[in-house]
Structures are given as structure tokens and as C-alpha cells.
């Protein structure tokens, strides 16, 4: 197939954010990259249904989100067990965060229900408006708002508890978890 070069560029430039979304959602780099690849294949196969002039990023995020929710949800338990692989697989982890802090945040994020996690990422990191996030998730704007709020509160509780335990017996548990890469 021959793709309009403008569309091709738009898809390619969306890849870094699609990966960030997929990795943040699934917590696993390999699985996320498969998800991004599948998203690109679906996008190319359905490129005729993309309306030029509309938001390509939002369109691609919708495809990825739906793929994640349909296929990857089944493997949710498995994904959550892969604690530790994520940080190791990433070429770099955020410089402004300590490793333990980064791991704790990731771990807390993974404990959120899918719908809260996706809403928080779309609004809090991907930079979509509540309206755009609602379109991507196929729900009402108010629903997105309440999911984002619940996600933030849940994370705050999880991370507040972690801080209290910083030097407690949990540190040993965490070290074991961090060393377990499967």
C-alpha cells in the first residue's frame, strides 16, 4: 500500500508517545512495543477511516487503548507479576527520581484499576484535555474527571503509606521484588 507521506510522518511522530502510553498502561516494555506495532498495523489497515485534519494522536491512542482493553486485559495478572522488568528494560529511567522512588511510583500505578490508570495517564501525562480523553475512552467527560480524581487519591494513599514504611521491614520485601525479574 502507498501511504500519504503526511500521514506517514504523523504516525511516525506519534510513536514515542504511543510507547509511553502503552508502557505506562501495561507496565511491560516488550508487551507495550507489541501493542504499538499492532496499533500501527490497525491504523494503516484502517487509514481510510481517519479524517484528515482531525487529531491523529487521539485517533491512534484510541486504537491502542481499545487493543489494550480487549487483548491485554486478559493477561492483566501476568503483567502485574513482571515487577522489576520494566525499569531494567528501559534504557534510562527518569533522572530526577531516585530508583526506589521510581519503582514505588510504578508499583502504585500498576495497582490502579485499568480505567483509572488510563484516565490519569491521558490527562496527567499525555496532555489530552478531559474531552479528548473521554473520546479516547468512549465515556462521558464527567466519568473521566471522577476517574482521574479517584486515581490521584488512590495513588496518594498508596505512596503516603510507602513513605511511612521507607525504612521499615518492607524495604527487604521490596529488595526481593526488585531482584525478581520474572
Partner 1 sequence: MTEKKPDKSHVTQMHTAPSAEKAHTGLNREIQVKIGQQLRAMYDGIVQEGVPDRFAELLSKLDKPSEDEGKAE
- Contacts with partner 1, residue ranges (CB under 8 A): 1-3, 8, 11-12, 15-17, 19-21, 23-24, 33, 36-37, 40-41, 44, 90-94, 96-97, 101-102, 105-106, 109, 120-121, 124-126, 152, 155-156, 159-160
Instruction: For the CB of residue 177, give the shortest distance to partner 1 in the complex, in Å.
Output: 18
Instruction: For the CB of residue 172, give the shortest distance to partner 1 in the complex, in Å.
Output: 24
Tracing cell 521499615 back to the chain, one arrives at: 168
Is the Cβ of residue 48 or residue 74 nearer to partner 1 in the bound state?
48
Instruction: For the CB of residue 141, give the shortest distance to partner 1 in the complex, in Å.
Output: 20
Q: What angle do CA 91, 59, 40 make, to 5 degrees?
A: 50
The CB-side HSE value for 54 (13 A sphere, CA atoms) comes to 10
Helix (H) or strand (E) holding 37: helix 29-45
* Radius of gyration for the chain, computed over Cα atoms and rounded to the nearest angstrom: 18
Instruction: For the CB of residue 72, give the shortest distance to partner 1 in the complex, in Å.
Output: 17
How far apart CA 117 and CA 10 sit, in angstroms, is 26
Amino acid at each position: 500500500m502507498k501511504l500519504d507521506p503526511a500521514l506517514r510522518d504523523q504516525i511516525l511522530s506519534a510513536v514515542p508517545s504511543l510507547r509511553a502510553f502503552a508502557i505506562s498502561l501495561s507496565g511491560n516494555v516488550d508487551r507495550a512495543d507489541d501493542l504499538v506495532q499492532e496499533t500501527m498495523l490497525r491504523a494503516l489497515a484502517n487509514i481510510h477511516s481517519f479524517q484528515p485534519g482531525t487529531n491523529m494522536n487521539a485517533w491512534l491512542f484510541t486504537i491502542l487503548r481499545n487493543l489494550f482493553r480487549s487483548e491485554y486485559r486478559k493477561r492483566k495478572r501476568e503483567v502485574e507479576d513482571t515487577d522489576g522488568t520494566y525499569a531494567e528494560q528501559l534504557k534510562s529511567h527518569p533522572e530526577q527520581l531516585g530508583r526506589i522512588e521510581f519503582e514505588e511510583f510504578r508499583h502504585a500505578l500498576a495497582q490502579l484499576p485499568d480505567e483509572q490508570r488510563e484516565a490519569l495517564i491521558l490527562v496527567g501525562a499525555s496532555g489530552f484535555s478531559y474531552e479528548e480523553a473521554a473520546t479516547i475512552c468512549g465515556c462521558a467527560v464527567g466519568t473521566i474527571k471522577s476517574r482521574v480524581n479517584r486515581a490521584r487519591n488512590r495513588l496518594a494513599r498508596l505512596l503516603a503509606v510507602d513513605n511511612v514504611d521507607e525504612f521499615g521491614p518492607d524495604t527487604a520485601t521490596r529488595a526481593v521484588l526488585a531482584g525478581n525479574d520474572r
